Amino acid sequence: MSSNDSGAWHSRVQAEQEAIDRARREAAAKEGKR
């Protein structure tokens, strides 16, 4: 595996983690408004 592939994999995982965190915050906000 080249370092370039590793960087792309890391950025993709980071983007997925950010999407998960955003979804959790939105869900928490909805729960709080209830």
CA distance linking residue 20 with residue 16, whole number of Å: 6
How far is residue 17 CA from its own chain's centroid?
Answer: 2
pTM for the whole structure: 0.62
Q: What is the pLDDT of residue 11?
A: 94
| 12 CB neighbour count, 10 Å cutoff | 10
Q: What is the pLDDT of residue 9?
A: 86
Q: What is the pLDDT of residue 6?
A: 80
Low-confidence ranges of the chain (pLDDT < 50): none
Boundaries of every domain in the chain? 1-34
Q: What is the pLDDT of residue 2?
A: 61
